[in-house]
């Protein structure tokens, strides 16, 4: 081959090469790039998974940059979607990234909706609570207004005990008791008046019970007897209707031996819990006492020890002090006992229960003790038995011999008191505390016989009013 021919061949080859390199065909350039990317990717797939991902990302970045220079944004996006070859793994990662992004957006939207929902719920609950509170306040005001109307008796001495909103204590606070006023007809009341007229006249205790409130009847009796307004305090409660009436119910009065009833109840509470035994004999030789002679007599009579039932009988039936002090020792002593009395209630007056020093109490407190006893009879069967036997034909039983009456009297010099549960057709409970009846004072050596008679007459008057209006 001559030099000229070789030159021509070389020139042809160069021309052919040049046409391939500088061709204006974009499609051929892209095909070459596409083949190059494919070769690179095929080579890279032989490496580790990590290298594949890195290589794919690098090649894609290069291809994207070159395409961006030669084509419009719209064309690049369209053709890259149609022609780019992307490893499966890379596509999966992109899909995952897109999914996570979508989830993140959804999560943010969901959280925003949840927060908005919670805010709406809070606002609704606050409004609902305020609405209920307003309704309750309105109902309470109506109830108080209604009770105020029930207290429509004359005279400034007495007031209906239930006129102030009172919550009964159990173990915890209970709902306020529903009061159901007795609506006895005038004819029915008059019938009882006629049936009991002979007894009323025979006792000299005839009053217009059918047309007078309980407080008015008591005031009329006191006026007839020359008893001053401050000498009598009482609280009354109907066990069926929960109607309550009172006079001087927060005025401090000398308690006397009436403390022995809640004392026995507290001891029985410990027995019912299994902390004390009814059969065990307890030493009484070293207990506190009020009177030396009485204490010595009990030590001798019982051989220096007593059971709880023996202590209960002699402290309730005969109102003796030595067995009462022995019972208090079962609770840790007298001081501890006095600190436990609020279990059965608290007075709304200055004296809340019974004072240890001063021995003062109120009928407001004691009616709560009787109410607790009544509502928990099963726990105090023995106590009810003993106070049912106490002082026959005396105190509340003086003019009411044919009734079952559970009573605990309390008497000391100037004070003559009685707390009773009276088993009329409609049972009721009453606490009566007096001072200076029959001319007695703090300096008296003995209780007044006439004062004791007046207490019995007052008991009859209260019971007769109940018979006419409540039975």
Q: What is the pLDDT of residues 83-126, one digit of tens each?
A: 444 444 444 444 444 444 444 445 445 455 555 556 666 666 77
What residues contact 354, with CB distance under 8 A and at least 6 apart? Answer: 255, 258, 259, 262, 338, 341, 360, 361, 365
pTM: 0.64
- 52 vs 117: which has the higher pLDDT: 117
% helix / strand / coil in the chain, to the nearest 5? Answer: 60, 10, 30
Q: Sorting pLDDT into bands at 50, 70 and 90, what band is 169?
A: low
User: Residue ranges per domain, the chain?
Assistant: 201-469
Q: Sorting pLDDT into bands at 50, 70 and 90, what band is 264?
A: very high
Distance CA 163, CA 245 (A): 9
Distance CA 290, CA 269 (A): 25
The CATH number corresponding to 201-469 among 3.40.50.1370, 3.40.30.10, 3.40.50.620, 3.40.710.10 equals 3.40.710.10
Is residue 84 classed exposed, middle or buried when 0-12, 13-18 and 19+ CB atoms within 10 A define those classes? middle
Q: What is the pLDDT of residues 285-340, one digit of tens each?
A: 999 998 999 999 999 999 999 999 999 999 999 999 999 999 999 999 999 999 99
pLDDT greater than 70 at residue 17: no
Token pair of 253 as six digits: 């009065």
Distances (CA, A) of 33 to 17, 354, 397: 17, 107, 123
Of 291, 302, 304, 300, nearest to 257 (Cα)?
Answer: 291
Q: What is the pLDDT of residue 297?
A: 96
């Amino acid at each position: 081959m001559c030099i000229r021919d070789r030159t021509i061949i070389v020139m042809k080859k160069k021309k052919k090469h040049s046409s391939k390199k500088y061709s204006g065909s974009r499609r051929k350039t892209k095909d070459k790039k596409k083949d190059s990317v494919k070769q690179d990717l095929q080579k890279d797939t032989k490496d580790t998974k990590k290298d594949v991902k890195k290589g794919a990302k690098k090649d894609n970045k290069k291809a994207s940059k070159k395409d961006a220079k030669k084509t419009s944004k719209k064309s690049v996006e369209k053709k890259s979607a149609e022609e780019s070859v992307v490893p499966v793994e890379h596509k999966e990662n992109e899909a995952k990234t897109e999914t996570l992004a979508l989830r993140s957006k959804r999560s943010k939207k969901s959280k925003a909706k949840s927060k908005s929902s919670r805010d709406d719920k809070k606002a609704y609950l606050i409004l609902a609570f305020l609405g209920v509170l307003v309704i309750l306040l309105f109902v309470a005001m109506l109830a108080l207004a209604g009770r105020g109307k029930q207290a429509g008796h004359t005279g400034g001495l007495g007031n209906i005990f239930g006129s102030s909103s009172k919550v009964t204590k159990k173990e915890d606070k209970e709902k306020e008791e529903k009061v159901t006023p007795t609506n006895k007809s005038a004819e029915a009341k008059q019938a009882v008046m006629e049936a009991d007229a002979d007894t009323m006249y025979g006792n000299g205790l005839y009053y217009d019970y059918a047309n007078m409130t309980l407080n008015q009847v008591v005031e009329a009796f006191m006026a007839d007897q020359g008893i001053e307004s401050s000498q009598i305090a009482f609280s009354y409660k109907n066990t069926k209707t929960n109607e309550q009436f009172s006079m001087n119910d927060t005025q401090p009065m000398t308690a006397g031996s009436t403390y022995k009833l809640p004392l026995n109840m507290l001891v029985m509470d410990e027995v019912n819990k299994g902390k004390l035994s009814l059969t065990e004999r307890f030493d009484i030789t070293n207990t506190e006492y009020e009177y030396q002679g009485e204490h010595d007599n009990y030590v001798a009579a019982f051989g220096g020890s007593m059971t709880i039932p023996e202590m209960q009988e002699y402290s309730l039936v005969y109102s003796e002090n030595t067995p009462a002090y022995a019972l208090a020792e079962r609770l840790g002593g007298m001081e501890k006992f006095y600190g436990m009395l609020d279990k059965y209630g608290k007075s709304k007056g200055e004296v809340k229960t019974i004072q240890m020093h001063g021995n003062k109490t109120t009928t407001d407190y004691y009616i709560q003790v009787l109410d607790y006893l009544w509502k928990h009879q099963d726990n105090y069967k023995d106590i009810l038995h003993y106070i049912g036997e106490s002082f026959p034909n005396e105190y509340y039983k003086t003019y009411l011999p044919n009734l079952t009456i559970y009573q605990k009297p309390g008497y000391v010099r100037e004070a003559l008191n009685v707390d009773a549960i009276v088993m009329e057709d409609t049972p009721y409970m009453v606490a009566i505390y007096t001072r200076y009846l029959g001319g007695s004072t703090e300096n008296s050596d003995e209780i007044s016989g006439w004062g004791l008679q007046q207490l019995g007459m007052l008991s009859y008057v209260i019971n007769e009013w109940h018979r006419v209006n409540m039975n």
